[in-house]
Amino acid sequence: MAASSHPWFVRKDLDGFFGLMIDNLIQLILIVSLCRELIHLPDAYIFGRILPGAAISILVGNFFYAWQARRLARETGREDVTALPYGINTVSLFAYVFFIMLPIYQETQDPVWAWKVGLVACFLNGVIEIIGAFIAEWVRRMTPRAALLSALAGIAVTFISMDFLFRIFAEPLIAVVPMALILLSYFAHQRFPLALPGGLVAILVGTALGWGLGAMSGKPWHAGFGLALPVFTGDSLWEALSHPAFLNYFSVIFPMGIFNVVGSLQNIESAEAAGDRYKTFPSLMANGIGSVTASLFGSAFPTTIYIGHPGWKRLGARAGYSALNGIFITLICLTGTIQTVLNFIPLEAGIGILLYIGIIIVAQSFQETPKEHAPAVALGLFPALAAWGLLMVEAGLRAGGKSLYEVGAAPFAQSPAIHGMISLERGFIFTSMILAAIGVFLIERKFFRAAWWSLAAAVFSAVGLIHAYELTPGGVATRFGLFEAPEFAVSYLLLFVLFLAVGWWGKK
């Protein structure tokens, strides 16, 4: 099919763009807020180093995945290929701020040094992703689809759908009508006047409601404008990399790198379940190169293949929404106009799109796996629910001026439910995959394969990738090392023996 039949942009790309743009915008606002308030990093570094570095990685990555989608469309002769979504990794953002940059700042009172070690964390994360690209396809072939999609569904129902649903119902006068417009457009396929995209209509209506009801009053129209071009920061990265202090935080960096590889792998599988089969190696390689590039130009926060491809595909987005997102995010990062955008468009106007994305991902995990695997998918949801529940507990304690570390000796923190929640939250994406995979192979009566997954869980527990934790002033931290969660390692070894025995008995 001729290249001209695969345009860079189609009308439905606008719907995908608004949703992906809002998601990326939220990550940038978190970076600005956390680096200012917790790390006390000067604005010259936030707006002059971090955001321009993030802009480079987001622009290059979004254009790569847009090109990849167009290439797949040409190879298959299809016109409905959707690019993989891409942006800053939310989980790594929080992990690097609270468990690397904040402890360093508290110890040294030097925000710039905390930023430099953050560059190392981002760089090594990218290196791990690049290495992971060489073995990821093998892992994907060995893992049941239910295990890969179940972990995504757990994240979608908690950290995406629940979080944004709470935001919607916190500001109902502004957000409920835009949400209804999104559902009208995407559930009922209702057409709007002038054939306007549903996402655009929702944002226009939400913005009008925000200003009309006075919710935007008092906010300045112009929060400042200043051109900040990307600056090579390899010298700062090397300074921190050559200092042995960063090794103290490798117990955070390594699990997060593995976590990001697996998360991207799950998103590629999700895209294939939705109809777009992308090659694993180049997709993950580009992901890792994006994080390395970010670190070399000043961003301490890695990028990743985003959750949500099936939702963007259902919206009708193709390749252009990814390219549009890269261009827009680059412009607001390089011009310092992030606050200006938020001062004009309320977030509540567009988060209904992200709620829809979460709903579609959860639905896909059941629709695109064999019906008999549904119990295994449901089993894999619980670790993400535990992670979200722990986040709610910590938020409630912080609102009361406390932390889990401060109440560690209190009966509340010693309750079995809290202990179990924290244990299940540590490395929850791995635990979700393992539990769902074991569930699939038990349903299929493939006991030996269930045993091998139990052995993998024992190894992961033994080295601290799952379940191992300690309470620190900065929050719950992973204990990475040998025999850091011995009770779990032994428990999974017992499952290994049990399933082997059942399989052997069945053969006899």
- Summarised one tens digit per residue, pLDDT across range 456-468 is 999 999 988 889 8
Q: Is 100 helix (H, G, I), strand (E, B) or coil?
A: helix
Strand-pairing partners, residue 477, are 470
What integer pLDDT is reported at residue 449 of this predicted model?
A: 95
Nearest to 467 by CA among 433, 502, 423: 423
Beta strand 469-472 pairing with 303-305? unpaired
Residue 3 counted as domain residue: no
pLDDT at 413: 61
Do 396 and 302 belong together in one domain?
no
420 vs 107, 468, 484, CA distance in Å? 31, 11, 16
Among the ranges given (71-75, 115-119, 220-224, 483-487), the one the predictor scored with the smallest mean pLDDT? 220-224
Cβ partners under 8 Å of residue 53, min gap 6: 230, 233, 293, 294, 295, 296, 297, 298, 299
Number of structural domains the chain divides into: 2
The whole-angstrom separation of Cα 81 and Cα 143 is 25
- Contact by Cβ (8 Å): 458, 489: yes
**Is residue 449 located within the same domain as residue 348?**
no
Residue range(s) defining the domain that contains residue 288: 9-369
Lookup: tokens for 300: 């301490």
Last residue of a domain, one of 369, 404, 423: 369
pLDDT of res. 412:
62
Rounded Cα–Cα distance for residues 63 and 132 (Å) = 22
Q: Are residues 341 and 429 in the same domain?
A: no
Q: Mind listing the pLDDT tens digit for each residue in 35-51? A: 988 899 998 999 999 99
Average pLDDT of the segment spanning 259-272:
86
Higher-confidence residue of 284 and 394: namely 284
**Pair (128, 86) in one structural domain:** yes
Residues 339 and 380 in one domain: no
pLDDT surpassing 70 at residue 409: no
Dihedral angle computed from the Cα positions of residues 400, 26, 342 and 65, in that order, rounded to the nearest 10 degrees = 180
| Alpha-carbon distances, residue 30 vs 35, 37, 67, 225, 330 (angstroms) | 8, 10, 29, 19, 17
Of 8, 3, 126, 15, nearest to 350 by C-alpha is 15
At residue 415, the 3 state secondary structure works out as coil
What does the mean pLDDT of the chain come to?
Answer: 86
Query: How far out from the chain centre does Cα 229 lie?
Result: 27
CB neighbour list of residue 157: distance below 8 Å, 6 or more residues apart: 358, 362, 381, 384, 385
Tokens 């052997």 map to which residue? Answer: 504
Residues 62-71 have a mean pLDDT of 95
Tokens of 84: 């993989």
Residue 306 lies in a domain: yes
Task: Please give the Cα distance from 388 to 382 (Å, whole number).
Answer: 10
* Residue 500 included in any domain: yes
- Kindly give the interhelix angle for 486-507 and 447-463, rounded to the nearest 10 degrees: 170
State how far the Cα of 472 lies from the Cα of 476, in Å rounded to an integer: 6
Co-location of 351 and 433 in the same domain: no
pTM value is 0.74
Q: Residue 80's closest CA among 69, 96, 66?
A: 69
CA–CA gap between residue 216 and residue 342 (Å, rounded): 10
- φ, ψ (nearest 5 deg) of residue 303: -105, 165
Q: Is residue 310 part of a domain?
A: yes
* The residue type at 329: I
382 and 305 part of one domain: no
What mean pLDDT comes out for the span 399-405? Answer: 78
Domain co-membership, 316 together with 393: no
What is the pLDDT, as a whole number, of residue 3? 47
Boundary residue ending a domain (347, 369, 391) = 369
Higher local confidence (pLDDT), 367 or 23: 367
pLDDT given at position 2: 46
Q: Are 380 and 360 within one domain?
A: no
Please give the share of the chain, as a percent, with pLDDT higher than 90.
40
Tell me the residue length of the chain.
508
Q: Which two tokens stand for residue 91?
A: 């989980």
Q: Which residues contact 132 (CB under 8 A, 6 or more apart)?
A: 257, 258, 261, 284, 288
491 or 21, which is more confident? 491
Q: Would you state the structure tokens that stand for residue 286, as one six-digit string?
A: 């580009």
- Quick check: is 1 in a domain? no
Quote the DSSP letter at residue 39.
S
Kindly state whether residues 502 and 365 are assigned to the same domain: no
Choice among 155-159, 220-224, 462-466 with the minimum mean pLDDT: 220-224
**CB distance 433 to 153 below 8 Å:** no
pLDDT beyond 50 at 109: yes
- Is the domain of 418 the same as that of 363? no
Residues 325, 474 within the same domain:
no
Q: Is residue 4 part of a domain?
A: no
Q: Could you tell me if residue 254 is inside a domain?
A: yes
Burial class from Cβ neighbours inside 10 Å (0-12, 13-18, 19+) for residue 479 reads middle
Q: Per-residue confidence at 411, pLDDT binned at 50, 70, 90?
A: low
* pLDDT tens digits along 346-398: 878 878 877 887 888 788 889 888 899 999 999 999 998 998 888 888 888 87
Which of 325, 349, 369 finishes a domain? 369
